[in-house]
Amino acid sequence: MRIGDVAAAAGVSTRALRYYEEQGLLTSERSPSGQRHYGDDAVRRVRWIQALYAAGLNSKAITGLLPCVHTGVATDEMITHLAAERDRIDAQIRDLTTTRERLDGIIDAARDRNPECDLSAEAATAGSAG
Amino acid sequence: MRIGDVAAAAGVSTRALRYYEEQGLLTSERSPSGQRHYGDDAVRRVRWIQALYAAGLNSKAITGLLPCVHTGVATDEMITHLAAERDRIDAQIRDLTTTRERLDGIIDAARDRNPECDLSAEAATAGSAG
DNA sequence: CTAAAACCTGACGTTGACGTCAAAGGCAGC
DNA sequence: GCTGCCTTTGACGTCAACGTCAGGTTTTAG
């Protein structure tokens, strides 16, 4: 696969892929003319990178985790690190859940206060995800 | 309360509080000499601001939501907006939960592969939160 | 062969929530 | 009035994950 294919398949820009390579997160074979070529697992790797970015990790942290994430092989230290990041994600989920519940409470209270609002709006919101 | 008191109580910097005021997220009374003074609810408001930042909202979005969040009074439009943000937080929680579960799977698999690792390390991780 | 599309490196630009420093004014204890 | 801490405005610095543009090369479609 060439860089554009991987980018399309993973839903990121080619710039992002070059950035990942620059950060040591992604490697590529080069054709004689210098063009990048990737194996099929590159897409899964990029999806992992995105997921870990979304979880609040930065490039350096991901660099430390990706080897064992991708290969399944990890040293004790790596596992400790993995568990620590998992705990951080857990805490993040808890905080977000609290915020979500409080928002829910406010929404419900406001709907009680107001004349039933327009419930069709909520159905529209649920449909227009993206 | 003066700005330093609010900052300490809410766990943020005074710079952050001035920034919130600059963004229209937080108001303050001024003493004749120009120093800021806050009511007790300022701390709760700041905690809300932090929670919404942590949920991925930016200053502009928070500006639109804070009035109804804090007072409980909301127009139909505000409620729609609130519900939309709640849905986004939901999606974020789902993504994070997926990532967390996959990390868990990797950790378990690596522990099976390795000789039981050192389980004391995990207890240490659980204790050193912060 | 040609034109278009994709790719390359290199480098500067962007954004947002602050950090940090400077220079000056205000407030409490002594 | 001195000392020391807190506060003020103003303005530049930061950091990370890219966006974007420039100028050139390579691959592909017809």
**CA A47 → C1' C6, Å?**
23
Q: What 3 state SS string does B69-100 have?
A: HHHCCCCHHHHHHHHHHHHHHHHHHHHHHHHH
Give the single-character DSSP code of A34.
S
Task: Find the mean pLDDT for residues A20-41.
Answer: 96
Q: A124 pLDDT exceeds 70?
A: no
Q: What is the per-residue pLDDT for B72?
A: 84
25-64 in A: which are within 8 Å (CB) of B? Answer: 51-52, 54-55
Q: What confidence tens digit (pLDDT) does each residue in A38-63 have?
A: 999 999 999 999 999 999 999 999 99
Q: How far apart are CA B35 and CA B14, in angstroms?
A: 13
In the structure, what pLDDT confidence band is assigned to residue A107 with cuts at 50, 70 and 90? very high
Closest CA to B89 of A47, A98, A128: A98
Tell whether domain A1-57 is in CATH 1.10.8.60: no
Closest approach of chain B CAs to the CA of A123, in angstroms? 10
Give the single-character DSSP code of A29.
E
Closest approach of chain A CAs to the CA of B14, in angstroms? 23
Domain map (residue ranges) of chain B: 1-57, 74-130
Q: What is the per-residue pLDDT for B71?
A: 86
Q: What is the per-residue pLDDT for B111?
A: 85
In the structure, what pLDDT confidence band is assigned to residue A116 with cuts at 50, 70 and 90? low
Q: What confidence tens digit (pLDDT) does each residue in B19-32 have?
A: 999 999 999 999 99
- Which residue stretches of chain B have pLDDT < 70? 115-130
Predicted ipTM of the assembly: 0.85
